[in-house]
Amino acid sequence: MEDKKINVIVTDDHKLFRKGIIALLEDFNFIGETMEASNGAELIDLLAKIKTPPDVILLDLRMPVMDGVETHKKISKLYPEIKVIILTMEDDEQFILHLISEGVNGYLLKNADPDEMEKAILNVVEKGYYFSENISTLVLQSLKRMEKTDAIFNPDFTERELLVLELICREYSNSEIAEEMNISIRTAEGYRQKLLDKSGAKNIAGLVVLALKYNWISLK
């Protein structure tokens, strides 16, 4: 991890939980500034006031005034560069898939260990997405059931693009992809953008789901 600190906003309507998460974050040596909001509307107001947007938002789903789903829609339109990790107890696989297709970068259950939260924040910043092992299992099970009913969708990926896609699905960062393929980081970033453009995915998390859903790559 580079020296640059990661700034985070925690958005949750339960004050004790919110304060606890902030205290936890401040123990991580890569965390810079932490801020908080009690609901989506308060978060949107906060984002409009601060000079520099955060790198990551930890976003609860069930909140008064403006819930997490509506809040994420607004964030993705106004601040597409911000990485959003859903922090919730909701583990319905179809709901999770819907949120991923809408562009969330990560999905973390509230009963996760501190080490997993640390990993989630680092992954969404460095690699574009993060799903816990339990969430990944739920998503894969759902995708397998969908394979029999969904139409085939195969964008015209080049061999090099498919190699980059496989590395992305194996959680390689841009710098790791560049090293593996002996290319520049900028070229690796260009491949990522081409994959997003061709697939129609809103972000890397959505791209990974599409790749697994339509068997564009094999991770065996």
CA distance 206 to 97: 9
Residues 19-47 have pLDDT tens digits of 999 999 999 999 999 999 999 999 999 99
* pLDDT attached to residue 194: 95
* pLDDT attached to residue 101: 81
Span 90-117, average pLDDT: 87
What percent of the chain shows pLDDT beyond 70? 93
Q: What is the mean pLDDT of the chain?
A: 89
Q: Could you tell me the domains of the chain?
A: 6-143 (3.40.50.2300), 155-213 (1.10.10.10)
Residue with the two structure tokens 């520099």: 52
How many CA atoms does the CB half-sphere of 141 hold within 13 Å? Answer: 11
Those residues whose C-beta lies under 8 Å from the C-beta of residue 10, and which sit 6 or more positions away, are 18, 21, 22, 25, 34, 35, 36, 37, 57, 58
Task: Write down the pTM of the prediction.
Answer: 0.81
Residues 101-114 have pLDDT tens digits of 888 999 998 999 99
* pLDDT attached to residue 2: 52
